[in-house]
Protein backbone atom coordinates (compact mmCIF):
# COMPACT_ATOMS: atom_id res chain seq x y z
CA UNK A 1 0.00 0.00 0.00
CA UNK A 2 1.40 3.37 -0.97
CA UNK A 3 1.76 6.36 1.33
CA UNK A 4 -0.91 8.20 -0.67
CA UNK A 5 -3.39 5.41 0.03
CA UNK A 6 -2.69 5.53 3.76
CA UNK A 7 -3.02 9.31 4.16
CA UNK A 8 -5.71 11.81 3.20
CA UNK A 9 -5.07 15.40 2.28
CA UNK A 10 -6.94 18.11 4.16
CA UNK A 11 -7.90 21.45 2.71
CA UNK A 12 -4.98 23.10 4.49
CA UNK A 13 -2.48 20.71 2.96
CA UNK A 14 -1.66 18.84 6.17
CA UNK A 15 -1.78 15.08 6.10
CA UNK A 16 -3.96 13.07 8.45
CA UNK A 17 -3.73 9.28 8.63
CA UNK A 18 -6.67 7.54 6.94
CA UNK A 19 -7.44 5.58 10.11
CA UNK A 20 -8.07 8.78 12.07
CA UNK A 21 -11.87 9.08 11.91
CA UNK A 22 -14.30 11.09 14.00
CA UNK A 23 -15.49 7.95 15.80
CA UNK A 24 -11.96 6.95 16.72
CA UNK A 25 -11.12 10.43 18.02
CA UNK A 26 -14.28 10.32 20.15
CA UNK A 27 -13.32 6.84 21.37
CA UNK A 28 -9.90 8.08 22.46
CA UNK A 29 -11.52 10.98 24.36
CA UNK A 30 -13.97 8.61 26.09
CA UNK A 31 -11.19 6.18 26.95
CA UNK A 32 -9.13 9.04 28.42
CA UNK A 33 -12.10 10.10 30.54
CA UNK A 34 -12.55 6.52 31.75
CA UNK A 35 -8.86 6.27 32.69
CA UNK A 36 -9.04 9.57 34.62
CA UNK A 37 -12.10 8.34 36.54
CA UNK A 38 -10.37 5.04 37.32
CA UNK A 39 -7.26 6.90 38.45
CA UNK A 40 -9.22 9.26 40.70
CA UNK A 41 -11.38 6.44 42.09
CA UNK A 42 -8.36 4.66 43.53
CA UNK A 43 -8.42 7.14 46.43
CA UNK A 44 -11.78 5.77 47.61
CA UNK A 45 -12.58 2.32 48.99
CA UNK A 46 -14.07 -0.01 46.38
CA UNK A 47 -15.97 -2.26 48.74
CA UNK A 48 -17.55 -5.50 47.56
CA UNK A 49 -20.56 -6.60 45.57
CA UNK A 50 -22.65 -7.01 48.73
CA UNK A 51 -21.31 -3.89 50.42
CA UNK A 52 -20.18 -1.41 47.72
CA UNK A 53 -17.97 1.49 48.69
CA UNK A 54 -18.01 5.03 47.30
CA UNK A 55 -15.72 4.07 44.39
CA UNK A 56 -17.80 1.09 43.28
CA UNK A 57 -20.20 2.85 40.92
CA UNK A 58 -17.64 5.24 39.36
CA UNK A 59 -15.29 2.29 38.71
CA UNK A 60 -18.11 0.21 37.25
CA UNK A 61 -19.20 3.05 34.95
CA UNK A 62 -15.60 3.86 33.96
CA UNK A 63 -14.94 0.23 33.03
CA UNK A 64 -18.13 0.14 30.95
CA UNK A 65 -17.14 3.41 29.28
CA UNK A 66 -13.69 2.03 28.53
CA UNK A 67 -15.15 -1.14 27.00
CA UNK A 68 -17.51 0.88 24.80
CA UNK A 69 -14.69 3.24 23.80
CA UNK A 70 -12.63 0.25 22.67
CA UNK A 71 -15.59 -1.07 20.68
CA UNK A 72 -16.16 2.31 19.03
CA UNK A 73 -12.46 2.55 18.16
CA UNK A 74 -12.47 -0.98 16.74
CA UNK A 75 -15.59 -0.55 14.60
CA UNK A 76 -15.31 3.19 13.91
CA UNK A 77 -13.40 2.98 10.64
CA UNK A 78 -16.42 3.71 8.45
CA UNK A 79 -16.93 7.20 9.85
CA UNK A 80 -15.80 10.41 8.17
CA UNK A 81 -12.19 11.38 8.44
CA UNK A 82 -11.25 14.08 10.89
CA UNK A 83 -9.92 16.24 8.07
CA UNK A 84 -13.34 16.40 6.41
CA UNK A 85 -15.16 17.76 9.44
CA UNK A 86 -16.21 21.36 9.09
CA UNK A 87 -16.62 23.71 12.01
CA UNK A 88 -19.74 25.47 10.78
CA UNK A 89 -21.48 25.13 14.15
CA UNK A 90 -18.64 26.49 16.28
CA UNK A 91 -20.77 29.42 17.48
CA UNK A 92 -23.33 27.00 18.92
CA UNK A 93 -20.60 25.07 20.70
CA UNK A 94 -19.16 28.24 22.24
CA UNK A 95 -22.63 29.41 23.32
CA UNK A 96 -23.39 26.06 24.96
CA UNK A 97 -20.03 26.03 26.73
CA UNK A 98 -20.63 29.60 27.92
CA UNK A 99 -24.08 28.64 29.19
CA UNK A 100 -22.59 25.72 31.10
CA UNK A 101 -20.01 28.05 32.66
CA UNK A 102 -22.75 30.51 33.61
CA UNK A 103 -24.81 27.71 35.19
CA UNK A 104 -21.82 26.47 37.19
CA UNK A 105 -21.07 29.95 38.51
CA UNK A 106 -24.67 31.07 39.11
CA UNK A 107 -26.16 27.88 40.58
CA UNK A 108 -25.29 28.65 44.20
CA UNK A 109 -25.96 32.38 43.88
CA UNK A 110 -29.26 32.35 41.98
CA UNK A 111 -30.59 28.94 42.94
CA UNK A 112 -31.41 25.92 40.81
CA UNK A 113 -34.77 26.99 39.37
CA UNK A 114 -33.74 30.49 38.35
CA UNK A 115 -30.36 29.40 36.94
CA UNK A 116 -31.90 26.59 34.89
CA UNK A 117 -34.73 28.81 33.65
CA UNK A 118 -32.32 31.54 32.51
CA UNK A 119 -29.94 29.02 30.92
CA UNK A 120 -32.72 27.20 29.10
CA UNK A 121 -34.33 30.46 27.98
CA UNK A 122 -31.01 31.54 26.48
CA UNK A 123 -30.42 28.22 24.74
CA UNK A 124 -33.96 27.88 23.39
CA UNK A 125 -34.67 31.52 22.63
CA UNK A 126 -31.33 32.88 21.47
CA UNK A 127 -29.45 29.86 20.18
CA UNK A 128 -32.37 27.88 18.73
CA UNK A 129 -34.33 31.04 17.80
CA UNK A 130 -37.73 29.88 19.03
CA UNK A 131 -40.64 32.17 19.86
CA UNK A 132 -40.88 34.02 23.15
CA UNK A 133 -43.94 32.15 24.43
CA UNK A 134 -42.51 28.72 23.59
CA UNK A 135 -39.15 29.68 25.06
CA UNK A 136 -40.58 30.89 28.36
CA UNK A 137 -43.02 27.99 28.62
CA UNK A 138 -40.33 25.36 28.03
CA UNK A 139 -37.74 27.04 30.25
CA UNK A 140 -40.11 27.41 33.20
CA UNK A 141 -41.66 23.96 32.72
CA UNK A 142 -38.32 22.13 32.48
CA UNK A 143 -36.73 24.06 35.35
CA UNK A 144 -39.79 23.61 37.57
CA UNK A 145 -40.37 20.01 36.55
CA UNK A 146 -36.79 18.92 37.14
CA UNK A 147 -36.83 20.74 40.48
CA UNK A 148 -40.04 18.94 41.43
CA UNK A 149 -38.56 15.59 40.43
CA UNK A 150 -35.21 15.93 42.17
CA UNK A 151 -35.88 18.16 45.17
CA UNK A 152 -39.43 17.17 46.07
CA UNK A 153 -39.88 13.58 44.91
CA UNK A 154 -36.32 12.22 45.12
CA UNK A 155 -35.33 14.49 48.03
CA UNK A 156 -32.04 15.60 46.47
CA UNK A 157 -31.28 19.00 47.99
CA UNK A 158 -30.84 21.62 45.29
CA UNK A 159 -29.53 25.15 45.84
CA UNK A 160 -32.09 27.84 46.61
CA UNK A 161 -31.36 31.38 45.59
CA UNK A 162 -31.72 34.62 47.50
CA UNK A 163 -35.51 34.66 47.02
CA UNK A 164 -36.05 31.00 47.90
CA UNK A 165 -36.03 30.10 44.22
pLDDT score of 69: 96
pLDDT score of 81: 81
The sign of the CA dihedral 106, 110, 112, 114 is negative
Q: What is the DSSP string of 99-119?
A: HHHHHHHHHHHHBHHHHHHHH
Domain ranges of the chain: 3-84, 90-153
Render each residue's pLDDT in the chain as its tens digit; 165 residues: 433 444 444 445 555 555 788 889 999 999 999 999 999 999 988 888 888 888 899 999 999 999 999 999 998 878 888 778 788 888 898 999 999 999 999 999 999 999 999 999 999 999 999 999 999 999 999 999 999 999 999 999 999 988 776
- The CA distance from 162 to 165, in Å, is 7
- The CA distance from 91 to 73, in Å, is 28
pLDDT score of 16: 53
Amino acid sequence: MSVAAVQRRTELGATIPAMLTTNRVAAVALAALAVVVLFESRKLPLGSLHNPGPAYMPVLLAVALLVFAILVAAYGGAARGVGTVGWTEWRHAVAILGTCAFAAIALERLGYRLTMAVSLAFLIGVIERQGVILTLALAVAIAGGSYLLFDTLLRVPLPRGPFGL
